[in-house]
A and B are shown apart, each in its own frame.
Chain A
Amino acid sequence: MENFAYHTPASVADAAKLLEAHEDAKLMSGGMTLLPTLKQRLAAPSDLIDLAKVPDIKGVCRDGDELVIGAMTTHAEVHEHALVRELIPGLASLAGQIGDPAVRHRGTIGGSCANADPAADYPAGTVGLGATFVTNKRKIAADDFFTGLFETALEPSEIIVGVRFPIPVWSHYQKLRHPASGYAVVGVFVAQTKAGVRVAVTGAGPSAFRISAMEEALAKDFSAKTIENIKVDAGDLNNDIHASADYRAHVVTVLAKRAVAARG
C-alpha cells in the first residue's frame, strides 16, 4: 500500500479537525475493510485518522428504552455483551455472524456502517430495528442513513459516535452467508418494535432497504405464511457471480419467512 501520515486524535472534535484539514484523509476504526482496500490500492489516502484513542465512543449502555452502542465497539463486544444479549438478542446474533472471530475482534459497528458495504450485516440490523445514528453533528435515522452502494448520508467531516437502538419486543436475523467471504449474499432482519413490524434486507440491493408489503402483512398476522407470496422486484437487486438477482429475490422471501418462523 501507499504510505500515509498517521494520526491518533484524542477526541472526536480533533478527529473532525484533522478530516477538515486534510482533503484526502480517511477515518479508520477497526480497519477490517480499509486496510485490505489500501493494500489493493483501491484507495490511497494522504492521511489515516485512527479513532482508537478517542475515549467515550466505545462500549454498550442502556438509556431508558434504548440501547446505546459506541461507534468503536467491536463486533465481538456486541456479540458477547450481556446487555445486548438480554435486550436485543437478534442484534447480538447478527454481530456474531460477521466475518470470523479474529475479524470480529477488530471490526467495529461504526466502521461497518460508515463503509456501507451492500453485503454488510449491520445495515440490516440498524434499519430493521429503526436505530438512530448519532454523529458529531446531528442524529440520522437509519432509514435515511444508507443512501446507496457504499454511500451514506454522512457529510465529509461527519463522524459516527454511536448508534441508538430502540429496544424491540422481539427481533431475529437470518442470513445466507457467502461461504468464502462470510458476507451476506442476502440477510433479512425482522423486528417487532413498539412502532410496528420492520423487515430490513441487506446483501440483495445496493444498500439496505425495507419491505413495506411484508411489514403491513405481518402487522395484521405475524406468521410466515402471511408473507410467502410477497416477493421483492428482482429488477432492483444485485446480480453478480455469487447470485443472480432472481435468486436473491427468492432468498429474501425464504429468509424473511424463516426469521418470522423463529418467533415460534
Chain B
Amino acid sequence: MLINVNMAINGKAVSGQVEARTLLVEFIRDHLRLTGTHVGCDTTQCGCCTVHVDGKAVKSCTMLAVQAVGKEILTIEGLAKADGTLHPVQEAFREHHGLQCGFCTPGMVMVGVDICRRHPKADEQTVRHELEGNICRCTGYQGIVEAIVDASAKMAGGQA
C-alpha cells in the first residue's frame, strides 16, 4: 500500500507516494533524484546521509519518509544561493581543503552548518566532539575541523 507524503525540500513543496518503510534518504535520492545526500553505512553511524529536518541535523537513513510529512527538509543541494554563492561552511571546506574523495562531504557540511548554528565561534575541541557522528576515511579530519572552526567564527562575526 502506498502512502501520500508531502513536505518542503530546499524550500520547494514536494509530494510523492511511498511505502511506509521507505526511508527519508530513499525518498530524497530515489524519488526526488537529489543524489547529493549519500548513503554510507545505512546504520546511523557514518553521517553521510545527514540532512536538516526543521532546522536540525538528522541522519536520513534512520528516519522514515512518512515521519517527515509536513516538515521542512534541507539537503546539500539547498545550501548554496540560487546564484551559486556557496554557504560559508561550503566556502570554508574549499578554503581549508576539508575533503578528499568527497563521499562524506555532504554529511560533513550539513552537520557543520548545524554545529555553527549551535556553537557560535566553536573551538577545535567542540568541533571534534560534535563530529563524532560523521566518519571520514580520507582526510584525518584536520581540514574538516579547520573549515568548521573558521566558518563558525565567520558566521558568528557576520551576525554580530
Contact = CB atoms under 8 A, between A and B. Distances in A.
- A and B bind: yes
Contact of A31 (B67, B114, B130): B67
Nearest to A179: B132
B59 A102 contact: yes
B56 A100 contact: no
B47 interface: yes
A6 B64 contact: yes
A141 interface: no
A1 B132 contact: no
Given A3-B21, A100-B132, A106 B114 contact: no
B20 A48 contact: yes
A1 B47 CA distance: 20
A27 B60 CA distance: 20
Interface string B43-65: 11101001001001111001110
A55 interface: no
Interface string A162-187: 00000000000000000011100000
A100 B58 contact: no
Interface in A94-134: 99-103, 105-106
Interface residues of A, number: 26
A52 B50 CA distance: 20
Contacts of B63: 31, 35, 106
Nearest to B49: A102
Contacts of A105: 53, 56-58
A225 interface: no
Contacts of A6: 3, 20, 64, 66
A105 B111 CA distance: 12
Contacts of A52: 67
B91 interface: no
Contacts of A38: 21
Given A48-B20, A101-B111, A31 B56 contact: no
Interface residues of B, number: 29
Given A6-B3, A6-B20, A39-B42, A101 B57 contact: yes
B47 A100 contact: yes
Contacts of A1: 21
B19 A100 contact: no
A28 to B, nearest CB: 8
B114 to A, nearest CB: 7
Nearest to A76: B56
Nearest to B57: A102
A32 interface: yes
A241 interface: no
A240 interface: no
11 contacts: A2-B21, A6-B20, A31-B63, A31-B67, A101-B57, A102-B57, A102-B111, A103-B59, A103-B62, A105-B56, A105-B58
Q: Which 4 A-B residue pairings sit nearest by Cβ, starting from the closest? A: A100-B133, A6-B20, A105-B56, A3-B21
Interface of A: 1-6, 31-32, 35-36, 38-39, 48, 50, 52, 76, 99-103, 105-106, 180-182
Given A1-B21, A101-B115, A101-B130, 12 more contacts: A6-B66, A31-B63, A31-B67, A32-B44, A100-B134, A101-B111, A101-B132, A102-B114, A102-B133, A103-B59, A106-B58, A181-B45
